[in-house]
Chains A and B, each alone.
Chain A
């Protein structure tokens, strides 16, 4: 059994730690690229949203590398992500690939026994004992937290760095090196050293960079390819950016959600605009926009794939927030047809606007 999984930001580093510690064979598909999207768009239903298409591309690449089992998470609505597994099973079957799917769904829907059964299938090839398995999981969670923390810090410091490009270089170096490591412990150690290195980057605290919050649909903001590397672009422009939605945030949210103690801040800030959970991460998007304003950010960029149902609702709400708080928000809709030039022009225009509002057009010099 060779397990693979679709890409989503830095998940692959945590997954590497997990599978290596478990001693399970795995395949990491090549980082999402134009090729994956092209294959995905070719085989997927036309009206499906972008994440589905990129995922199909990931699977096809992983199959070429010998993968025979797919591990994905599910959800039970109302966003269509929950139906991905069924459509993807059918689609890959039709293409002649008989893959095993392990869908991790909420126990409320499939029952606890079935959930444990499915989790058991992941570790079926593992010779480790129970304690070691739990240790592997803990290590993977630690890796996910660390790598997200490093990324968030690097993205934020990019506005303050003295030598342009330091943060970006370090971040890329960090991810590359992590892939050379073997096992969870060594990845954690490496990430620790990079965390220290990041703290020693020369920064100019007197700078007042433009700060932008990235909000929107979870997959498109986390997976850098689907947002056309917007965060890297912002780093190049010398802009500090923040993104709340990360794989580690998602994990924490998932664990805390039964207690209803999850993301209290976001719920509180979204309350005046969207008081109900409407599926996907619409409420988070609205809450983050309000929070970003409270935290002194200059603007926010909302990104979502074409046709995303929950984000359409938040898109309807955002102009009101923008008006109420005098807070610029740009919405970018991405799909397989998105052209980079048009996309960049809009981001640049938005940054120009923010600069002029600050009355400091030289802030990035």
Chain B
């Protein structure tokens, strides 16, 4: 069986798990290519107009491999932690895809609750059954996939540079180099290092958010708020760049919370959508870095 994995949304965080799981089940993997213009254009064409850019790009990835596979993996990530969500659109992702992209193969509909091993296994059981009837094999593949995911560390933590910025935002905005026009490389060229949220320990982040009036109920709201707060207070960075997709509901809240928290600290919000021009992004990054340099000297 050929299993299609779209390279969108949380793929960059969880590909070791997905790859290992389906490979161990004996499926042939069809992974879509890195995001490119075609994928973006098809995503815009096939997705509901009001959705945000990452969701549109995901639709584009699904569209690009739909004819080559028998089963499409559309992860419905409900929770990564107890009493926390990612975004309502994640919870309804399979429905969005099914109703927007025509001529789809079979797709995975089971919800993912990654709050405990047992609940995650519920997903593996249902999804594994779509590939093989051998339950022992599913169990083994699940264990192997978890093992692989545990050993996977992501995140950027550049040292030895005069200026360093905290790059925050949803992981799919930070790690998809086409969406953010390779901002990390652009910053490197200007001699600026980058620190991302994955390199800060979870307990530190949890500690930072206790100061809020209300416990954040979005995983990435908590992470970004805690990360920027910690990075500013400890002087780990010289400024913050927040990559936010246009009309992102979570960002509209988090950006305000961060602004309120950090006061006068340098903070740049880069909005991205399907019309974003590269020249505009370049200018703003350069201006921001110039400002940081002058502050420093």
Contact = CB atoms under 8 A, between A and B. Distances in A.
A82 interface: yes
Given A79-B88, A82-B217, A276 B78 contact: yes
Interface in A80-110: 80, 82-83, 85-87, 89-90, 94, 103, 105, 109
Interface in A270-312: 273-274, 276-280, 282, 306-310, 312
**Size band of the interface chain A makes with B:** 35 or more
A23 interface: no
A253 interface: no
Contacts of B215: 109
A282 B215 CA distance: 24
Most buried by B among A78, A79, A82, A333: A78
B48 A315 contact: yes
Contacts of B111: 276
A308 B215 CA distance: 21
A87 B95 contact: no
Given A78-B218, A315-B48, A315-B50, A276 B91 contact: yes
Interface residues of B, number: 39
Contacts of A120: none
A278 B99 contact: no
A105 B96 CA distance: 30
Contacts of A277: 91
Interface string A57-90: 0000000000000000010111110110111011
The secondary-structure label for the interface of chain B is mixed
A365 interface: no
B257 interface: yes
Contacts of B257: 86-87, 90
A310 B253 contact: no
Contacts of B255: 45, 47
Given A109-B83, A309-B89, A85 B213 contact: yes
B48 A85 contact: no
Given A47-B251, A313-B89, A316-B99, A76 B256 contact: no
A48 B248 CA distance: 9
A277 B90 CA distance: 12
A354 B184 CA distance: 53
A333 B50 contact: yes
A312 B213 contact: no
A280 B248 CA distance: 15
Contacts of B212: 86
Interface of A: 45, 47-49, 74, 76-80, 82-83, 85-87, 89-90, 94, 103, 105, 109, 273-274, 276-280, 282, 306-310, 312-317, 319-320, 333
